[in-house]
Amino acid sequence: MDEIVVYEFRPWFVCLLYAILLTIGVGYFTQQNAISYTGIDLMVLYLCTVTTQHRNLCKKVSQATATAEFSGSKWSFANPLRVQIPREFG
């Protein structure tokens, strides 16, 4: 049985955020409300999904602060950010 839980940050979520923001901007600057509203709906969905996942992970990492290990980069697709914490906290 593994004694360590590894959480991996997915850079695709950041790219998705930028794509949503671009959609909102295109809709705003071209004055096409349907595109802007679609982008805003996607942003709300994104924030709800990411916020709940982030909140749960923050609780676990803060409990295991002394033993948490971080590696990788938040912006790298080849070497994504990884957080390793003991299973008792994960």
User: Between residues 57 and 23, which one has the greater pLDDT?
Assistant: 23
How many residues are listed for the chain in this entry?
A: 90
pTM: 0.67
Residues 50, 73, 85, CA angle at the centre, nearest 5°?
Answer: 70
Domain-wise residue ranges, the chain: 4-86
pLDDT digits (tens, 9 = 90+) for 31-65: 999 999 999 999 999 999 888 888 888 888 888 87
Q: Which helix (H) or strand (E) holds 71?
A: strand 69-71
**Residue in 60, 63, 51, 67 with CA at minimum distance from that of residue 7:** 60
